[in-house]
Amino acid sequence: MPARYLTPPSPLPPPADGQAELLAALSRINTFNPPVQTCSTGWHYAGLYSGPSSVAFLFYRLSQLYPDMTFKGQHLADWAAAYLELGQSYLPGGRSKRASVDASHCGVANETLCQLALRACLEHDTSLAHALCAYANGLLAPAVAGSDEWLYGRAGYLYLLRL
């Protein structure tokens, strides 16, 4: 009768080096999605869901976990700032029309709110934090109909406030 389990290979493969895997993943991201706007990158601006703000959030969170880590000679927070520069047009006073914010589109997929939240964290700028909080009256009022989900709704806005 055949065995009901697979026998592990011998010898067992060595465990992966987490630091090397992280640097390899960051290299792939940086190679295929560099922090520049060209016709070949084709960035889609969707807050923390996809686009340069999502990569900036990755570098920001990693900079908090590994404050002394560098990637290609720069600190991770510098990489986060470089990726955030691509979304500068979504801030008030930017180069083009910014993404709309309403109760049905105020979650982590909203580029405007994500830009404000990440910039407030990276630059330690209280005026940007106040600008992010200023949306609360219109979004969190009980009479306002809208979504409560994390990606497009109020739960995502509350997540951004906690950054």
| Tens of pLDDT, residues 118-133 | 999 999 999 999 999 9
The secondary structure element, H or E, covering residue 74 is: strand 74-75
- 69 within some domain: yes
For the chain, the domain total comes to 1
- 35 within some domain: no
Domain span at 70: 44-88+101-162
> What pLDDT, in 10s, does the model give residues 128-155?
999 999 999 888 877 778 888 999 999 9
- 12 within some domain: no
Q: Is 140 helix (H, G, I), strand (E, B) or coil?
A: coil
- 118 within some domain: yes
Q: Is 20 helix (H, G, I), strand (E, B) or coil?
A: helix
Q: Sort residue 95 into left (φ over 0), alpha (ψ -120 to 50) or beta.
A: alpha
> What pLDDT, in 10s, does the model give residues 36-90?
876 666 778 889 999 899 999 999 999 999 999 999 999 999 999 999 998 775 5
Phi, psi of 25 (to 5 degrees): -65, -40
